[in-house]
Amino acid sequence: MPQPLVRFAEVSKSYYRGAEEIHALRNVTLTIEEGSFIVITGPSGSGKSTLLHVAASLDMPNKGTVFFREEDIFSFTNREQARFRRQNLGFVFQFFNLIPTLNAIQNTSLPLLLDGVSKRNADARAEELLSSLGMEDRLQHKPHEMSGGQMQRVAVARALIANPALILADEPTGNLDSESGAEVLALLKKAAKDHGAAVALVTHDTEAAEIGDRRISIQDGRVMSSVLTS
Ligand SMILES: Nc1ncnc2c1ncn2[C@@H]1O[C@H](COP(=O)(O)OP(=O)(O)OP(=O)(O)O)[C@@H](O)[C@H]1O
Ligand SMILES: [Mg+2]
């Protein structure tokens, strides 16, 4: 039986701009199972990024509960939330968010160094992971010496290096041509499976939407459909 990793129970999130209330999420109930790959699609402004932020405890809902392995993540203190993110989550962004002065190994190993792993061990793990993502010839390259697809592969390696249970990826192919985008997604899917990590991927790319186990479509903050695709 697949176990729930993340569970949203009737979650609503509004933003207020003056007197205006913007409903970013409306009564969202969904489950991300351990090790599963879910793809979230929907028009611009429909609440996709908000959903990822709430799942990461970066943004607090006005109503409802978010569970991670059946623990209410908004019952955590700020310190506990920070630890929860460090130990369990990996992030991949549209604009890569790599550190320009660091090479591929250094960008990838950084989360481990911050966690107190020795440089030698951290670098060895980074090298292994980067190589599994086809980056063995670019280990010493800095971001400006890489293509977009290569930068995103480094970002995938960095997201996975601490063995997270969940990777949150917001439009990771938004800045890539369709070929390198498809390549990055295939690598992300395989690497996540190999590490037993679940993935929540937000995308506008209709082809990318096919690669998940489940596809969730949201509109105006509401989950319109949630379909198994594999
Ligand atoms: N910090 C904020 N303050 C006020 N309104 C916000 C804030 N963040 C998001 N919103 C609003 O909430 C709604 C959902 O935003 P969200 O960023 O989740 O959309 P999205 O589906 O990720 O869109 P896109 O595809 O353009 O990235 C939008 O109407 C947006 O304007
Ligand atoms: Mg967004």
- Dihedral angle of Cα 102, 86, 126, 34, to the nearest 10 degrees: -140
Task: Calculate mean pLDDT across residues 36-49.
Answer: 96
**Residue 16 region by backbone torsions, left for phi larger than 0, else alpha for psi between -120 and 50, else beta:** beta
Tokens representing 218 are 């949201």
Dist. CA 14 → ligand 1 center (Å): 10
Secondary structure of residue 169 in the 3-state scheme? strand
CB-based burial label for 107 (10 Å; 0-12, 13-18, 19+): buried
Pocket test for ligand 1, best of 11, 15, 205 (most atoms within 8 A of CB): 15
Residue range 126-167, pLDDT digits in tens:
999 999 999 999 999 999 999 999 999 999 999 999 999 999
Considering the domain 4-228 in this protein, what is its CATH number?
Answer: 3.40.50.300
pLDDT exceeds cutoff 80 at 230: no
Averaged confidence pLDDT in the chain: 95
pLDDT above 90: percentage of residues in the chain: 91
List the domain boundaries for the chain.
4-228
Task: Calculate mean pLDDT across residues 29-52.
Answer: 97
Residue range 96-116, pLDDT digits in tens:
999 999 999 999 999 999 989
Residue range 167-220, pLDDT digits in tens:
999 999 999 999 999 999 999 999 999 999 999 999 988 777 789 999 999 999
Q: CA 86 to CA 154: how far, in whole Å?
A: 18
Dist. CA 5 → ligand 1 center (Å): 25
Q: CA 188 to CA 167: how far, in whole Å?
A: 9
Dist. CA 77 → ligand 1 center (Å): 25
**Which residues have beta carbons under 5 A from ligand 2 (an ion)?**
49
Q: CA 70 to CA 109: how far, in whole Å?
A: 30
Q: Is the CB of 50 under 6 A from ligand 1?
A: yes
CB-based burial label for 227 (10 Å; 0-12, 13-18, 19+): exposed
pLDDT value of residue 38: 97
**H or E element: which one contains 201?**
strand 198-202
